[in-house]
Structure 1
Amino acid sequence: MNTPEVDVVPGVASNASPARSPECDDARSGPRCRETRIAFFGFYGRHNFGDDLFGYLLQAISARTPGIQPLIVGASPAEELTHPFHLPVARALWARSGAMGAVARSLTYIAAVFRARAVVFGGGSLFGANASLSFAKLIVTAGHWFNRPVAALGVSVGPFATVERRNAFGDVLRAMPYIAVRDEASVHAVANATGSAPANLRDLAFALPAIYTPKRKPDERRTLIVSIHLRHYTDAVLAILARVDSQRLVDEVVFVSLDAESVAVTGDIARLFSPSNVSVRRFQYGSSITAVVDLLAAASCVVTSKLHGAIVSFVYDTPVMLFCYQRKCAEFLLDNALPGPREPQPSDDVCVTHVTELLARERSEQRYSSAQWHLDQFERFIARIGNAGAPAEPLDN
């Protein structure tokens, strides 16, 4: 059901060794030494770049953590995801809607918890406004059945629409001995729900530059990337494109689809745009996570409504305009002191001015300076979960 040993994943530096348990360092242990399996749960396997990126990062971090073997539950068949976990009898039904799909996923979740020594909710809005309470309860309950510690890393928590929902998620969160969230709003949400504030280690993607170095073409052109998944931003984006084209601020525009929603909306914007001076091409996230990273990191500017299109751009110092369609987008800009409108529906003129200013700035070639710190923190967190029961070492906030 899973790859039996941990290899260095693509993009991990060559000095990173495969994860091995302490017993493997003993020459007498031989080839039968065993690793600690950690099952990672998220929205993996739904062909969404941001969620698949979490799987890639958790796999890479685990490969750098001695003694850990990751099981990325439900992962997509992306080139870089070499440690997916699927239940063979349920795999064909994994993405199906309705009762059959729900049963297949539930059986897979329970099997993964059973196979693992520890369980981690890894990355994303797994405890957010639209999160599945039944999913969270199932994983925690299965962990209790099989005596597996359950933790959460790089997640968002809240906002909760009702006190009842907050209390229900509070019960789930209190069942987890280790929680590390990705933003300050989630710190307050967990504290309000449980009475205890978690560590804020930020989003998993903040460690990406310490794991992967993007490929850059020697003949780089000035490129504007557009990746939009909501139709109500169409007019603002077309206004931006009209200004960029008329003033020749870039050489090309690349319309990028990062998930199923982006395919239709970004495609419609591409068809409505009639360029006079810039070239146009399209790109759709397919089987390679790092191919998307390469594209974002090499751009002159990114205009997106996708949070992880913005975060990846930010950590590789690509100027970005993020449409803040929900709270977590505005919080990302706020937490990182980034410029740009934070209201859900900014005016076309504000958007045009902001992108024009971003393109006028001199491009920095310095990677996000705290990436190694984040990677170290995530490694420590995963190592602690893998050695649950050992004396706790405090994580930095």
Structure 2
Amino acid sequence: MSAPETEAPSAVASSPRSARESQHGDVRPASIRRETRIAFFGFYGRHNFGDDLFGYLLQSISVRAPGIRPLIVGASPAQELTHRFHLPLARALWGRPGAMGAAARSVTYVAAVMRARAAIFGGGSLFGAHASLPFAKLIVNVGRRFNRPVAALGVSVGPFATAERRHAFASVLRAIPCIAVRDEASVRAVADATGLAPVNLKDLAFALPALYTPKRRSGDRRTLVVSIHLRQYMDAVLAILTKVDSQRLVDEVLFVSLDDESVAVTGDIARLFSPSNVSVGRFQYGDSITEVVDLLTSATCVVTSKLHGAIVSFVYDVPIMLFCYQRKCAEFLLDNALPGPQEPQPPDDVCVRHVTELLSRGSREQRYSRAGWHLDQFTQFITAIGNVQTRAGAV
């Protein structure tokens, strides 16, 4: 297999191999440390803001730890993702559907595990309703074959549509000794599947304010950000916009597409909305993750069906209306005691009332302050996995 490509130099220089390692490779002089590569696996490389954000966060957290070099496997070419990992020949096929794309991704996954010291499933719904069981099995089996520790951080587990799928994922989860989930429902799902309750460190994005200070726009202009990716919410959003416009609750409505799926839906809402008092703008996620963070944190309120549009807004104290199309959205509201409807299809008048109340408060409520704690917990988790010793020693 050809040597894998890493698209940026490590933030920490490698140290030479110690000539006095033990025969098991698990004792090294403290003064001579080698670079520890950790390969992170997730839904990266699909031009989705939330998944790309996970890659950015894992990269940012990892480089804070001495000697850790992250490999964000398959990551999108966003400006901030400087530790992307691709195989040169497979990269062009990465996003292709069908057998060719699957083969390219599989070969890349195997190469990343072989190149790394450990593997971590990092962020997102990687063990649930729409997750790939073959993908999860591949990473676990390759890790076992090449004696690489495998862990999971900031993931959701479940819900499982069938007992067969639950049983299949349970076997994968039992093979991952270190799991940190992002919500209480996942704690219960892992406990039911394995008999052991994992730690709940919450979503990786909860550490974001400790890693990035956004560039906020002037507070004089009141902006409502709308980011919707499902047509089932169009009527409710249009009702919200009509109310907001008629009462002049904001100065501007900004329609934001956070992934390719959002472009058509958000565009249709923008075309159907006929404002009388507010200005209208459009934004589409391109090649900068922090640009989106800047935009969300400058908003007066965010109306979205995208979980990470909501989480990023929440951790920077921006009021949110989140449409709970999946259980993970309702779990986020519940776990953080946030107001708003939690059913998959709330009545239009309930949505309008909620957003009107949020915009009528007049000032942001400062309620989130634990980013530093989450950053420390995530850093300790990654460092611990990097330090796990194997029979073959460090890679």
Q: Same fold (TM over 0.5)?
A: yes
Normalising by the residue count of structure 1, what TM-score does the alignment of the two structures yield?
0.92
What are the Cα deviations for residues 192-233 of structure 1, in whole angstroms up to 9, with x where unaligned? 001111000000000000000010123641000000000010
Cα distance in 2 between the residues matched to 1:338 and 1:365: 12
How many residues in Structure 1 have an aligned counterpart in Structure 2? 377
Give the match for residue 356 of structure 1: 356
1:2 matches 2:1: no
Identify the structure with bigger relative contact order (alpha carbons < 8 Å, sequence gap 6+).
Answer: 2
Question: What's the counterpart of residue 256 of structure 1?
Answer: 256
Give the partner amino acid of 2:108: T
Q: What are the equivalent positions in structure 2 for 1:188-267 lying under 5 Å apart?
A: 188-218=188-218, 220-267=220-267
Which amino acid is the alignment partner of residue 151 of structure 1? A
Q: Distance in 2 between matches of 1:248 and 1:361?
A: 14
Q: What is the percent sequence identity of the aligned residues?
A: 78
Q: Is the 8 A contact 2:222 2:252 kept in 1?
A: yes
Residue 294 of structure 1 corresponds to which residue in structure 2? 294
Q: Deviations over 1:13-35 (max 9, x none)?
A: xxxxx5877999x9985xxx631
Match of 1:48 in 2: 48
Question: What letter is aligned with 1:384?
Answer: A
The 1-side partners of 2:284 and 2:355 are apart by: 23
| Superposed displacement of residue 4, structure 1 | 5.9
Q: Which residue number corresponds to residue 154 of structure 1?
A: 154
Q: Deviations over 1:135-161 (max 9, x none)?
A: 000111110111100000000000112
Q: Distance in 1 between matches of 2:66 and 2:127?
A: 29
Match of 2:22 in 1: none
What is the aligned-residue RMSD (CA, Å)?
A: 2.0
SS in 2 for 1:121: strand
Tell me what 1:107 maps to. 107
Query: Are the counterparts in 2 of residues 222 and 252 from structure 1 also a CA contact under 8 Å?
Result: yes
Is residue 339 of structure 1 aligned with residue 339 of structure 2?
Answer: yes
Cα distance per residue 1:94-135 (max 9 Å; x no partner): 010011000000000000000001000000000011111000
Output the amino acid matched with 2:230. L
Distance 1:65 1:19, change over 3 A: farther
Contact 1:19 1:66 in 2 (8 A): no
In structure 2, the partner of 1:382 is 382
* AA of the residue aligned to 1:303: V
- The answer to whether the 8 A contact 2:8-2:84 is kept is no
The alpha-carbon deviation at position 162 of structure 1 amounts to: 1.7
In structure 1, distance between residues paired with 2:389 and 2:299: 46
Partner residue in 1 for 2:26? none
Contact 1:225 1:256 in 2 (8 A): yes
Contact conserved, 1:19 with 1:68, CA < 8 A, in 2?
no
Q: Gaps spanning 5+ residues in structure 1: where?
A: 8-17, 391-397
Q: CA deviation at 1:363?
A: 2.4
Alignment-mate amino acid for residue 84 of structure 1: R
Tell me which moved more, 243-252 or 360-369.
360-369
- State the one-letter code of the partner of 1:256: V
Amino acid at match of 2:139: I
Q: Which residue of 2 aligns with 1:15?
A: none
> What amino acid is the match of 1:6?
S
In 1, Cα distance between the equivalents of 2:64 and 2:99? Answer: 38
Counterparts of residues 82-101 of structure 1 (less than 5 Å): 82-101=82-101
The question of 1:133 aligning with 2:137 is answered no
Change (3 A) 1:380 1:156: same
Distance 1:243 1:111, change over 3 A: same
**Secondary structure at 2:157 match in 1:** strand
Hey, what's the Cα distance between the residues in 1 that align with 2:17 and 2:137?
Answer: 34
SS in 2 for 1:369: coil
> Which amino acid in the other structure matches residue 217 of structure 1?
R
For 2:107, the aligned partner's letter is L
> Do 1:22 and 1:67's aligned partners in 2 also have CA atoms closer than 8 Å?
no
Correspondence for 2:169:
169
Equivalence for 1:59: 59
TM-score under structure 2 length normalisation: 0.92
Q: How does 1:108-123 map to 2 (within 5 A)?
A: 108-123=108-123
Query: What is the CA–CA distance in structure 1 between the aligned matches of 2:169 and 2:388, rounded to whole Å?
Result: 23
* 8 A Cα contact 1:5 1:69, kept in partner: no
Shift of 1:164: 1.6
Stretches of structure 2 that go unaligned for 5 or more consecutive residues are 19-28, 391-395
Q: Deviations over 1:298-345 (max 9, x none)?
A: 100000000000000000000000000010000100000000000111
* Aligned partner of residue 119 in structure 1, secondary structure: strand
Q: Output one character per residue of 1:156-201: Cα deviation in whole Å (capped at 9) or x when no partner.
A: 0001122221111111111112100000000000000011110000
The residue type paired with residue 204 of structure 2 is L
